[in-house]
Amino acid sequence: MIDRLMPPGLKSPLDFSLRLPAFEIATLKNGVQVYQVNGGAEDVIKIDWVFEAGNVFENKNGVAAATRELINSGTSNKSAYDISNQFEYYGAYYSTAGFSENAVITVNSLTKHIGDLLSVVREILTDAAFPEDEVALYKQNRIQRLKVYLKKSEFLADRLVNEALFGADHPYGRKVEIEDIEKIDRESLIAFYKSYFQGGNCRIFVSGKFTEKVVSLLNEFFGDLKFTSKKKITPAALHPMKEKVLHRVVNREGVQGAIRLARTFPVLTDPDYKPALVLNTLLGGYFGSRLMSNIREEKGYTYGIYSYIQHYPDVGVWQVATEAGRDVAEAAIEESFKEMKVLCETKVQDDELKLVKNYMLGKRLASLDGPFKVMERIKGLVLNDVDQSFFEETVEVIKGVTADQLQELAVKYLQRKSFYNVLVI
Amino acid sequence: MINYSKFVLDNGLRVVVNEDNSTPLVVVNVLYDVGARDEDPDKTGFAHLFEHLMFGGSIHIPDYDSPLQIAGGENNAYTTNDITNYYCQLPAENIETAFWLESDRMLSLAFSRESLDVQKKVVSEEFKENYINQPYGDVWSLLREMTFKVHPYKWMTIGKDLSHIEKAKLKDVKDFFFKHYTPSNAILSVAGNVTTEQVKALAYKWFADIPAGPKYERHLPQEPDQTEKHFLEVKRKVPVDAFYKAWHGVAWNTPEYYSMDLLTDILGSGKSSRLFQSLVKEKKLFSNIDCYHLGSVDAGLVVIEGKLAKGVSFEDAEAGVDMELEKVKEEKLTEKDLEKLKNRVESALAFEDTSLKSRAADLAFFELRGDAGMINTVKDKYFAVTAEDIRAIGRKIFREENASVLWYRSEDASGLASEAELETENERHD
């Protein structure tokens, strides 16, 4: 008979060798850098074109997102349909994503078809036309989408907490309203496109299974374009709200409240950042966290509760987020602050700290599985302007951080009075 | 080609292995052949509630998650109308931890009353978060009730009604476990940096002594052919009118399933799809539109759904949809259309195979349906579909007497309370 009470032996995740795999950088004729991670069994490829074209650069609300989303809506030779069909015919996926600083255009494809797709991406980047009827249709649809989002308490809570943290006039705190979308016109899109895509700063990230031919194709299609070097952004001044407790009832019949507890936090390069990742995991960063164990698994107030550390170039945010039953939302907030207080007052026990460390190291091992995931890591480092040693340093901090250090950090950052307390029903 | 090998234990547990030495990880996946369709009509939502309880401690191990996290692993699970699937991903060296945990909860749960009480609340919050406190949250409950009169697909996985979950008793939990969570109703699949020999040894060690238990025989009431069109109009506090039209499709094990899949793809996938191009871009009837099928094992639904463009009537929107459907019923697809569909299948399958988790889940699913080897032959089934097949399945499915239409009407155009109103309701809690 086997002894089912005895857990099997383990290789401790502390003993894993966690090193970021090697990657290559090629430079196109025009100086554009192409980061590459090659590997995997399937003949698939992913290419990201990253532009400094995020919403911090817009001078009219909503223009950065509209430019990015309409960039493929027609050129002087191709209609929006021709462009979509070119990707979809080959089974490829074209998508875009927007962040505060950056805008990303991504193509996922079978490697054998990528040559047929790069010419279209070139056309998008050099000759986007922003046809009037496409702009009008986009505005109508985006307004409809926004109207639906405005019905969601979690969306309203996110907007409110960002406004509270940064100020209504700050790029991270600004709200895009229906009137803003109505005001978007073709001219402002073209102007944004010319400054930030066509003549902007571009970096390329290629991952998957491919040969050197892909780099020569990238040179052929993008090596002659006149991109510019990285801009220096002056961070906007923060205008945080004075009032910390922001509780709102928007939907009288709402059965749940969206809760956001948030404070600003130092940037990625601050010495507190790496150990705070461990403290955050302990608090609300994984399924077994203090918040989950108490508020979901013990009290059943919510389907899920998590905490995060987010980072912008000039500031970070530490946030707890959940949706809880309307009648227990207040209690969920109190319990969240109580868990923070416990971390300030009581040192974490060895067993729990070991579990959190192992979990985090296992996560990092999994994040290096396959070329796409490795590239996500590398892209994160490159776009945040940190050295690749950042990954290994973080691993060392996770392995070495002590209960005393975590308690000090909790006392420094997890004070109730520093947090905005947002509840939207 | 995905390599795989398989074997069966004496207690009926089927095991499939995919060896991949390029990864430091392993995924251990356990699929149980039970879903919401196997529920009692008075106890809907039970399969999903049960999935939550599977994390509430097993007979020898009080806490499932912690030992896995100590091993550097993570896990999750999902329930559909057809199956319940559990997986954990962990460093390959620590694979045995997953075998220990999964075998213990297949042997027996702890059946803790406390866990049941808490998970009932958690699932209630999940219900509220996704189906009550969301605009359009009740659409699926309405559509399923309209389209299925006898087949248990008539309720959602989360359950028909919150009260069913609230009423769940510990005895129901035990009965459900011993009926469905037996080795003969399960498939264990393992993908990652392991060898079949290693998996054999571990499977015998941890799973072989679990009693076989009864084999669950499924006798579900089959949905009779629908003979007349169903129609429902509702008014809700949503900002935009939404249109839904659903038809009964074909079952997973029919050759026509692949034609149906491609039909929905040509109609509704992507911005170059027919419905988007015609009804959003050219005729401007919808602001967005989708066409998809539910991918269910028994005959499920093909659905077209879209939000109406401002000022468009439901009548005009539906006429626009019907006109596009007439085209696929009349005109055969061109060679170029077919080529596109096949490129898309090839690409989707290749991307799916890059993920260890989806490889493990697919192998288990295909083995349950008869043969894990289908993971490698499914592409051929799609490639064998002809233009005539697609026209034929269009004619079979898109018939008015087979259709159900839901007009989901917005009753307050203004949407939100005004900002001024928000301010007055700003409560203070300091």
CATH no. of B5-207: 3.30.830.10
Q: Which of B235, B263, B227 is nearest to B404 (CA)?
A: B227
* Fold topology of B230-410: Cytochrome Bc1 Complex; Chain A, domain 1 (3.30.830)
- Chain A residues whose CB is inside 8 A of the B100 CB are 4, 7-8
Q: Where are the domains of chain B?
A: 5-207, 230-410
Residues B247-260 as b/e (b if ≥16 CB within 10 A, e otherwise) read bbbbeeeeebbbbb
Residue B388 to residues B329, B340, B385, B396, Cα–Cα distance (Å): 10, 16, 8, 12
Give the amino acid at B136: Y
Within the 149-208 window of chain B, which residues sit less than 8 Å (CB to CB) from chain A?
A: 205-206
How far is Cα A286 from Cα B70, in angstroms, rounded to an integer?
A: 13
- Nearest chain B CA: its distance from A229 CA (Å): 34
Contacts of B271 in chain A (CB under 8 A): 80-81, 84, 88
Mean pLDDT calculated for residue range A205-211: 96
Collect all residues with Cβ–Cβ distance below 8 Å to B366 and sequence separation of at least 6: B372, B373, B374, B375, B378
Transcribe B64-106 into DSSP letters.
SHHHHHHTT-EEEEEE-SS-EEEEEEEEGGGHHHHHHHHHHHH
The closest of A354, A358, A360, A396 to B94, measured between CA atoms, is: A358
Distance CA A144, CA B333 (A): 33
Q: How many whole angstroms separate alpha carbon A138 and alpha carbon B271?
A: 13
**Sole residue written with tokens 């596109």:** B340
Provide the residue count of chain A: 425
Q: B231 forms bridges with which residues in the sheet?
A: B405
Closest Cα of chain A to B93: distance in Å? 6
Judge if ipTM > 0.85: yes
CB interface of B with A, residues 39-58, below 8 Å: none
Q: Which residue of A lies nearest to B119 if distances are taken between CA atoms? A: A300
* Residue A314 distance to chain B (closest CA, Å): 30
**Cα-based distances in Å from A337 to A328, A333, A421:** 14, 6, 10
B351 to chain A, minimum CA–CA distance in Å? 7
pLDDT of residue B415: 39
Q: What angle do CA B87, B88, B89 make, to 5 degrees?
A: 125
Same fold, B5-207 and B230-410: yes
In chain A, what is the greatest distance between 2 CA atoms, to the nearest angstrom?
77
The residues, any chain, with a CB within 8 Å of residue B357's CB and separated by 6 or more, are B27, B29, B87, B89, B191
Question: Do the Cβ atoms of B427 and A424 come closer than 8 Å?
Answer: no
The fold of A245-424 is Cytochrome Bc1 Complex; Chain A, domain 1 (3.30.830)
- Pairwise CB contact (< 8 Å): B209 & A296: no
Among A244, A287, A370, beta carbon nearest to B65: A287
B74-79 vs A103-110, strand pairing mode: unpaired
**Contact assessment for residue B375 and residue B367, using Cβ atoms and an 8 Å cutoff:** no
pLDDT (0 to 100) of residue B295: 94
Which candidate in A6, A72, A248, A350 is best for mutational testing of the B interface (most B CBs within 10 A)?
A: A248
The confidence score (pLDDT) of residue B428 equals: 29
Instruction: Report the C-alpha gap between A61 and A59 in whole angstroms.
Output: 7
pLDDT the model gives residue B388: 97
B372-394: per-residue pLDDT in tens?
999 999 999 999 999 999 999 99
- Tell me which chain B residues have a C-beta less than 8 angstroms from the C-beta of A5: 60
Chain A contacts of B72, Cβ < 8 Å? 13, 16, 358-359, 361-363, 365
pLDDT for A16 equals 84
User: Does B354 contact A42 at a Cβ distance shorter than 8 Å?
Assistant: yes
Cβ–Cβ < 8 Å for A35, A379:
yes
DSSP state of B120: H
Chain A partners of B413 at a C-beta cutoff of 8 Å? none
Confidence tier at A14 by pLDDT (50, 70, 90): confident
Euclidean distance between CA atoms A205 and A51, whole angstroms: 12
Count how many Cα atoms sit within 13 Å of the Cα of residue B156 in the half-sphere of its side chain: 17
Q: What is the mean pLDDT of residues A270-280?
A: 97
Q: How far apart (Å, rounded) are the C-alpha atoms in residues B423 and B182?
A: 57
Taking only residues 287 to 326 of chain B, the set having a beta carbon closer than 8 angstroms to any beta carbon of chain A reads 287-288, 307, 309-310
A280/A277 Cα distance (integer angstroms): 5
Nearest CB partner across the interface for B287, out of A43, A144, A286: A144
Q: What is the pLDDT of residue B421?
A: 35
CB B96 within 8 A of CB A8: yes
Grade residue A234 by pLDDT with cuts at 50, 70 and 90. confident
pLDDT for res B429: 32
Q: Tell whether the model's pLDDT for residue A71 goes beyond 70.
A: yes
Judged by average pLDDT, the poorest of A226-230, A310-314, B1-5, B364-368 is A226-230
Which residues in chain B touch residue A90, judged by CB atoms under 8 angstroms apart?
Answer: 343, 347
Return the higher-pLDDT residue of B413 and A182: A182
Query: Tell me: the pLDDT tens digits for A16-52?
Result: 888 888 899 999 999 999 999 998 888 999 999 999 9
B114 reaches A (C-beta below 8 A): no
Report CB contact under 8 Å: B128, A325.
Answer: yes
Q: Which residues pair with B87 in a beta bridge?
A: B29, B76
- The pLDDT profile of chain B, 430 residues, written as one tens digit per residue, is 899 999 999 999 999 999 999 899 999 999 999 999 999 999 999 999 999 999 999 999 999 999 999 999 999 999 999 999 999 999 999 999 999 999 999 999 999 898 999 999 889 888 988 888 888 999 999 999 999 999 999 999 999 988 999 999 999 989 999 999 999 999 999 999 999 999 999 999 999 999 998 889 999 999 999 999 999 999 998 999 999 999 999 999 999 999 999 999 999 988 999 999 999 999 999 999 999 999 999 999 999 999 999 899 999 999 999 999 999 999 999 999 999 999 999 999 999 888 999 999 999 999 999 999 999 999 999 999 999 999 999 999 999 999 999 999 998 644 343 333 333 333 323 3
The Cα of B142 is separated from the nearest Cα of chain A by a number of Å equal to 20
CA distance B150 to chain A (A): 31
Report the pLDDT value the prediction gives residue B430, as an integer from 0 to 100: 31
Please answer yes or no on whether A39 and B22 come within 8 Å at the CB atom: yes
CB contact under 8 A, B287 and A245: no
* CATH level 2 (architecture), domain A24-222: 2-Layer Sandwich (3.30)
How far, rounded to the nearest angstrom, does the alpha carbon of residue B307 sit from its chain's CA centroid? 23
Residue B309 and residue A361: Cβ atoms within 8 Å? Answer: no
Of the partner residues B20, B118, B132, the one whose CB lies closest to the CB of residue A255: B132
Tell me which chain A residues have a C-beta less than 8 angstroms from the C-beta of B69. Answer: 286-288, 355-356, 358-359, 362
Give ∠ CA A58-A62-A68 in degrees, rounded to 5.
80
Where does B181-216 have alpha helices with state H? 196-207
Min Cα–Cα distance to chain B from A3, Å: 9
Nearest-neighbour CA in chain A from B401: distance (Å): 32
Closest CA to B90 of B126, B53, B60, B65: B65
CA distance B33 to B31: 6
Domains of chain A, residue spans: 24-222, 245-424
Q: Which residue has the higher pLDDT, B1 or A222?
A: A222
Q: Chain A within 8 Å of B112 (Cβ-Cβ)?
A: no
Q: Which helix (H) or strand (E) holds A67?
A: helix A63-70
Whole-number pLDDT of residue B418: 37
Alpha carbons B123 and B49: distance in angstroms, whole number? 7
**Closest chain A residue to B429, measured at CA:** A245
Task: Indicate which of A109, A113, A147, A349 best probes the interface with B, i.e. most B CBs within 10 Å of its own CB.
Answer: A147
A74/B386 Cα distance (integer angstroms):
32
pLDDT tens figures, A367-405: 988 899 999 999 999 999 898 899 999 999 999 999 999
| Residues from chain B contacting residue A356 (CB–CB below 8 Å) | 69
Residue A351 clears pLDDT 50, i.e. is over it: yes
Q: pLDDT band at A120, cuts 50/70/90?
A: very high
